Copies of this chain bind each other. A is one copy, B any other.
Amino acid sequence: MWGAIRELKIRGAPALGIAAAFGTYLGIKNSPAKTFAEFKQDLDQAIKYLGGSRPTAYNLFWAMERIKGKAEELKSQAVEKIKEALLEEAINIQEEDERLCESIGEKGAEIIQEGNTILTHCNAGGLATSGYGTALAVIFKAKEAGKKIKVYADETRPLLQGARLTAWELQQEGIEVILICDNMAGEVMREGKIDQVIVGADRIAMNGDTANKIGTYSLAVLAKHHQIPFYIAAPSSTFDPNIEDGHAIPIEERAPQEITCWGGRTIAPKKIKVYNPAFDVTPHDLITGIITEVDIIYPPFQKSIHQVIDR
């Protein structure tokens, strides 16, 4: 599971949460521990190990904390009972995510009007979650409601999640989708083609600053320049109560080969230096609203985020 997460065989913040929950269970499934203290050691080790796979997505840590909390709750029970309960909790997380995605889609669909064109970045669809997705759930639900809509999908370099995943998901659902390179988003906005930008999130600080796939921040600046609403769609498990603002969100830097190689071929000079941050942080003042399973929340986020997580 560590490898699958590290190498992006599983990616997308909600899917990472689910994978981390099951991964934690796999980590302790064969634990020979007899006492809770021994079991707890193995559990902590599994969590620490899995947490090293990818640092930015908060859902990953959120899910493992929840598994850990469940174990603590059952500490007086037999270790085998606890193991069973942790598997059940992982399944709960997955099933909840399916319902969450559907709720995010339903809440968010109201921002989309008949005939609207939406721009999205990376993949926040079914392939990033257990079900509908987050940003794409909003689009799917708008379509289900009978609205005729169109989507521009950024290809999303370096790993092309937009071209490979988002374009495919939208095509499968019969939604008109137009693929562009990331550097064309500004031009498409200038041409007046975009009504909303909707993207997912990997971690949201308590002031609304949002970490998401690299390029999201540029889109938010471009959207502001063109006075286009910019929405984040994410389950409430994406809010990190320990992080006040975006500066404290750890940003993963990935291997240079993601940029310099393509299908085994090298496309840049040998020994070239590369900067490859996997995420960026969009400051809250560039965000129009955050679509959660509870409601769409608006600034001031410092207040409205609490209305969602303190329920």
Q: Are B188 and A217 in contact (CB under 8 A)?
A: no
Given contacts A190-B280, A263-B262, A267-B164, contact A152 B275 (CB under 8 A): yes
Q: State the oligomeric state as a number of copies.
A: 2
Q: Report A267-294 CB contacts with B as 1/0, cut-off 8 Å.
A: 1110111111100100000000000000
Most chain B beta-carbon contacts within 10 A, residue among A152, A183, A260: A183
- A157: min CB distance to chain B, Å: 4
Comparing A2-10, A82-90, A218-226, the segment that makes contact with chain B is A218-226
Judge if A163 is at the interface, Cβ distance under 8 Å.
Answer: yes
Given contacts A265-B263, A267-B160, contact A274 B179 (CB under 8 A): yes
Q: Are B179 and A215 in contact (CB under 8 A)?
A: no
Contact of A268 among B152, B158, B179 (CB under 8 A): B179
- A265: min CB distance to chain B, Å: 5
Q: Are A214 and B280 in contact (CB under 8 A)?
A: no
Q: Are B214 and A221 in contact (CB under 8 A)?
A: no
Judge if A154 is at the interface, Cβ distance under 8 Å.
Answer: yes
Contact of A280 among B167, B176, B187, B271 (CB under 8 A): B187
Judge if A168 is at the interface, Cβ distance under 8 Å.
Answer: yes
Interface CB pairs A-B, < 8 A, 10: A157-B157, A157-B183, A167-B269, A171-B272, A179-B259, A182-B183, A183-B218, A184-B276, A184-B280, A186-B221
In the complex, given contacts A167-B268, A171-B269, A171-B271, what are 6 additional A-B residue pairs having Cβ atoms less than 8 angstroms apart?
Answer: A152-B275, A157-B181, A163-B259, A178-B273, A179-B275, A181-B259
